[in-house]
Chains A and B, each alone.
Chain A
Amino acid sequence: MSCLRIDLVYSYLEGEFPPSEVREFEDHLGSCPKCRQILEDRRSFLEAANTLPTLEVPEDFADRVMERIPGGKSSLFGWLMALVTGLASLFASLLGFYLTTGEDLASLAVRMNRSLWDSLKNGVVLSGKFLKLILLALNLFMNLVLGIVKKLTVLTSIVRPEALALLFVLTLGLTTAFFYGFGKKLFWEKNDDL
């Protein structure tokens, strides 16, 4: 048998060598110092490569992963804990109240109920008043618009159509001039700033 290829030396060391050829290879090793040296060298290399130090995982790693899982047990547990804590706080507050004021829970519940009913009644009255105010404002606005329309009707019946047209053109001109002048003023003021 001639000297072996190095990839097959690795196969032999890793137990991937065809079993039928193992005997022949081992016989060759006995008579070939070069192949023995190659084999020992690769064996040392593989020994080191297969036993490289490993990274240690933090103890809480799995817990941290589970916390990130949607609807995970950890988060359900968290919700339960929050609920229990909330109920416990309520109970402690009620107990504290009872101990400091001497009132029992039943009378406290009646008072709370009465107070809630009063708040509800006040809320309804306030809402009614607010609605009435809005209706009054609407009525006022409607009256104003109707008044303006009536005055305009009277004006058109007194003044002749030519004068009315003149009045309209004049009003339009004055309005345009006013806004144009205002815009120009703004423009100059801006340029002054520059």
Chain B
Amino acid sequence: MNEDKELIDKALKGDKKAFEMIVRRYQKPLLNYMGRMVGERELALDFTQDVFIKVYASLHTYRPQYKFSTWLFKIASNFLIDFWRKKKIQPVSLDEPLETEDSALCIQVSDPGPSVDKVYELGQVRKRIEQILEKIPAALRELFVLRHINEFSYEEIAEIKGLPVGTVKNRVFQTKELIRRKLAGRS
């Protein structure tokens, strides 16, 4: 967005109010991303703050040919990778095949399986999705959150994660089917 770029220009010239406007614009999507990724509200608030401080410190490295939102989430994603590395938590690599009981996700329509909306009401479905999200590997959860909560396009997610668009599409699809199957009580 051009408006973002104008605000960044002003912030780089020392206008703190412009940076405050950037914070206000992105605080909610960033908190929702962090919240889903770390699972604790207070920790997510702290991390969101830390990411904004990091963004401010490296604002001069931002290149206007990229979208600001993807640059911001790239910093946030790297921040989480550092956090997991320090805590010695190994998120599943997106280059490795999915090793779950649903690894052989059927891509063809052969057996439609039980319908989700017949098992739960919409509110219950949302609640169950949240519960399942907490239990799936962080790397898959991240792609799902970026796509369905932060509403990034597959191309933008590919830019954030530094992955080919095809890989992102395939992993998001597999994650959705994994969640849907768990939701329908098939695993």
Contacts and interface: CB of A to CB of B under 8 A. Distances in A.
Interface of A: 3-7, 9-10, 16, 34-35, 37-38, 40-42, 44-58, 61-62, 64-66, 68-69, 72-74
Contacts of A4: 109
Given A41-B115, A55-B35, A34 B49 contact: no
Interface of B: 16-17, 19-20, 23-24, 27-28, 31-32, 35, 41, 44-45, 48-49, 52-53, 56, 106-109, 112-113, 115-117, 122, 125-126, 129-130, 144, 148-149, 151, 154, 169-170, 173, 176-177, 179-180, 183
B148 A55 contact: no
Contact of A57 (B28, B117, B125): B28
Contacts of A42: 180
Contacts of A68: 49, 53
A44 B129 contact: no
Contacts, number: 116
17 contacts: A5-B107, A5-B108, A40-B115, A46-B148, A48-B116, A49-B179, A50-B151, A52-B126, A54-B32, A56-B28, A61-B23, A61-B49, A62-B23, A65-B52, A65-B53, A66-B19, A69-B16
Contact of B122 (A48, A55, A64): A48
Given A38-B112, A41-B115, A69 B56 contact: yes
